[in-house]
Amino acid sequence: MPPELPFAVWSSLLPGIALWALALYLPLSGPIARFEESLAAGPLDAGSQQLLLVLTSLALALAVGVVIEILLCWALGPSWSASLGLMAVLSGLFWSVASRQDKT
């Protein structure tokens, strides 16, 4: 069993985790779309499907954000990892705006 990290350590990692979760939310939409299709074929009503889809997508993005943040903190340090997360968010925003400008 891994040793428990104190709250101070986790609280210092939270900004980077949130940035990586935000940066990876759109790339993770492929698996989430497949999950949405399987939910549509299931017995749940539309409201329950939507709630389960939102909770699952947030949990997936946060889990991947935690893994990326911990790996990059180990390799580069916490401040570098959070900075790379911010750069990933901003580059995703840039590419999103640029793709919309190209369509008009």
Tell me: the pLDDT tens digits for 23-56?
777 777 778 888 888 888 888 888 888 898 888 8
Residue with more model confidence, 104 or 18: 18
Query: Taken in order 53, 56, 62, 63, is the CA torsion positive or negative?
Result: negative
What average pLDDT does this structure show over 86-102?
A: 75
Domain boundaries, the chain: 13-103
Residues 41-44: contacts with CB under 8 Å, at least 24 apart: none
Quick one: which of 88, 87, 76 has its CA closest to 24? 88
Quick one: which of 69, 35, 67, 75 has its CA closest to 52? 35
